[in-house]
Amino acid sequence: MGKDPKNEKKASLWGGRFKEGSSDITRRISASIRYDRRLYRHDIAGSTAHAEMLHRMGILTGDELTAIKGGLGEIQGEIENGTFDFSMALEDIHMNIESRLTEKIGEAGKKLHTARSRNDQVALDMRLYLRDEIREIKGLLKGLIALLAGLAEKNMDVVLPGYTHMQVAQPVRFSQHMLAYCWMLLRDAERLKAAEEACLSLPLGVGALAGVNYRNDREYLRERLGFSRTIPNSMDAVSDRDFILDFLYFASVLGAHLSRFCEEIVLWSSSEFAFIRLADNVTTGSSIMPQKRNPDLAELIRGKSGRLYGNLIALLTVMKGLPMTYNRDMQEDKEPLFDSIDTVKLSLEGMSEMLGTVALNRERMRKSLYSNFSTATDLADYLARKGVPFRDSHEIIGRIVRYCEEEKVEFFRLDIGTLRSFSVHFGDDAVDVLSPEGSTERKESSGSTATGEIKKQFSMVAERLSSLT
């Protein structure tokens, strides 16, 4: 996107008090244009609103306002068609645009920065940018939740083992498993909403830190740029980066949830589990082993959680010791944010693509229900219903399990005579409790894996999804 030479001779826009220009290393460390150029649309939007406000205050004439708005529009076109000449010497997107504006329209361009500092300018741009990105991410997140809910509803009849400590624990419906991730992601959506809300406080109009020596109209700027409120303290306005931390925290927790899900996809698609099969277009092969079908998307998304955590810690560390107000350290807020935004979007798109191809191996899931003592708890609860104290029933079923292991007897085919040898409280109906398929429907508590409770969850998830705006 245009040129980016390392040793430009363009004059900076702040060099009046300096006899000498910046050294090469100073320019290279100071320059952020290689990554903050993605803020160009938001910088131009903020500058346009600021120019309109200056005109309302009588600082700019009508002709000057027209020239500024026209020049900014042309600059946006240049950036988008790849002809804009980015300068490292001008450090950042703000000064690159302002310098080019002055080249194009002359003296009126030099007036644009009246009653404004780069401190409140960048704080504005970052909020505008993040606000737009959050809206896109929200759509991707809602799409993934809807896909999972659809997958769950389509496979209501599928039962598989539920695990604790990676050991078969109790039978659960596949739908219940998918809905668990829906609820995780809905909590992520709430965190994202909180991050979006944090972006809606306007910093523009406070100058460098103390306010500006002109009458201005921050209320006009608030309405014009779509903010909910203005930040009441000028020092806080230019030094606040909590809104970025809020987003990075959202991204980190989302990364944890996606990583957990991907771990199960990796396990479930292995030959040892074989619960699911992913399509060819979301798996990869091996350079040496012809038989391999690797779940690389799941592994890569799982791995990306680490960089999301790192970005949060990086900015927390930058901010933790800064005195009021703006410090150049805060330039380090952009790359972690930009990287997390890109990573989140890529991961959500990858999850939806991958899960859209999942084929369930229902028979393998069913067989796995019989691989361990998945209805042992049901049998213990059976005795408890017959009046046996639960701790005693727990002991009895434990002895039955040990008997099956030692005698190589299949738990799920125990006859009533064998059961009664452990407790006289077993009735003829006890053998029905051994069946894993019926276990899920014996769950009577709210939020359980029983069909009726799962159907209630579908309605709740749909309601929550529709309320995400």
pLDDT surpasses 60 at 21: yes
Q: Which of 228, 286, 421, 467 is catalytic?
A: 286
Per the DSSP assignment, residues forming a β-bridge with 284 are: 294
Q: Percentage of the chain with pLDDT > 70?
A: 96
165 given a catalytic annotation? yes
Tell me how far CA of residue 92 lies from CA of 5, 89, 98, 244, 398, in angstroms: 14, 9, 10, 19, 69
Residue 206 belongs to some domain of the structure: yes
Residue ranges making up the domain that contains 423: 376-434
Q: Are residues 403 and 327 in the same domain?
A: no
Residues written for the chain:
469
d(CA 173, CA 157): 7
**Residue 221: closest CA among 424, 50, 24, 39:** 50
- What pLDDT digit, counting tens, does each position of 247-294 carry? 999 999 999 999 999 999 999 999 999 999 999 999 999 999 999 999
Choose the final residue of a domain: 114, 148, 174: 114
Strand, helix or coil for residue 158: coil
Residue 356 belongs to some domain of the structure: yes
Residue 104 belongs to some domain of the structure: yes
Q: Which of 165, 371, 459, 466 is catalytic?
A: 165
Q: Are residues 101 and 241 in the same domain?
A: no
**Residue 370: closest CA among 436, 415, 414:** 436
d(CA 405, CA 421): 16
Helices (H), 171-323: 174-198, 218-225, 234-239, 242-268, 296-319
Q: What is the CATH number of the domain that holds 68?
A: 1.10.275.10
pLDDT surpasses 80 at 10: no
Choose the final residue of a domain: 367, 388, 408: 367
Q: Do 97 and 44 contact (CB within 8 A), yes or no?
A: yes
pTM metric for this prediction? 0.93
Q: Are residues 88 and 127 in the same domain?
A: no
Q: Are residues 281 and 191 in the same domain?
A: yes
Q: Are residues 27 and 140 in the same domain?
A: no
Provide the b/e sequence for 38-69 (b: ≥16 CB within 10 Å): ebbebbbbbbbbbbbbbbeeebbeeebbebbb
pLDDT surpasses 50 at 36: yes
d(CA 408, CA 430): 21
Q: Do 355 and 349 contact (CB within 8 A), yes or no?
A: no
For every residue of 358-397, DSSP letters joined together read: -EE-HHHHHHHHTTTTTTHHHHHHHHHHTT--HHHHHHHH
Burial tier of 442 (Cβ tally within 10 Å: 0-12, 13-18, 19+): middle
Provide the b/e sequence for 127-137 (b: ≥16 CB within 10 Å): bbbbbebbeeb
Mean pLDDT of all residues in 55-71? 98
d(CA 10, CA 13): 9
Q: Do 95 and 13 contact (CB within 8 A), yes or no?
A: yes
Q: Are residues 426 and 347 in the same domain?
A: no
Q: Are residues 148 and 55 in the same domain?
A: no
At 419, which helix (H) or strand (E)? Answer: helix 416-420
Q: What is the CATH number of the domain that holds 179?
A: 1.20.200.10
Peptide bond into 66 cis (omega under 30): no
Q: How confident is the model at residue 20, as a pLDDT?
A: 75
pLDDT confidence of 3, banded at 50, 70, 90? very low
Per the DSSP assignment, residues forming a β-bridge with 159 are: 173
Q: Any idea of the CA torsion for 193, 177, 162, 292, to the nearest 10 degrees?
A: -100
d(CA 233, CA 210): 9
Q: How confident is the model at residue 6, as a pLDDT?
A: 40
**Residue 9: closest CA among 84, 104, 85:** 85
Q: Are residues 140 and 288 in the same domain?
A: yes
Mean pLDDT of all residues in 384-389? 97
Q: Do 156 and 167 contact (CB within 8 A), yes or no?
A: no
Q: Are residues 104 and 138 in the same domain?
A: no
Residue 468 belongs to some domain of the structure: no
Q: What is the CATH number of the domain that holds 395?
A: 1.10.40.30
Residue 450 belongs to some domain of the structure: no
Residue 339 belongs to some domain of the structure: yes
Q: Are residues 104 and 150 in the same domain?
A: no
Mean per-residue pLDDT over the chain, rounded: 95
347 given a catalytic annotation? no
pLDDT confidence of 371, banded at 50, 70, 90? confident
Q: Do 434 and 444 contact (CB within 8 A), yes or no?
A: no
Tell me how far CA of residue 61 lies from CA of 64, 67, 301, in angstroms: 5, 10, 53
Q: Do 67 and 30 contact (CB within 8 A), yes or no?
A: no
Q: How confident is the model at residue 91, as a pLDDT?
A: 94
Residue 449 belongs to some domain of the structure: no
Q: Are residues 148 and 67 in the same domain?
A: no
Residue 456 belongs to some domain of the structure: no
Tell me how far CA of residue 215 lies from CA of 54, 58, 206, 218, in angstroms: 9, 10, 11, 10
Domain count, the chain: 3
Q: Do 450 and 440 contact (CB within 8 A), yes or no?
A: yes
pLDDT surpasses 80 at 304: yes
Q: Do 301 and 230 contact (CB within 8 A), yes or no?
A: no
Q: Are residues 397 and 249 in the same domain?
A: no
Choose the final residue of a domain: 347, 367, 387: 367
At 349, which helix (H) or strand (E)? Answer: helix 334-355
- What pLDDT digit, counting tens, does each position of 419-447 carry? 999 999 999 999 999 999 899 999 999 99
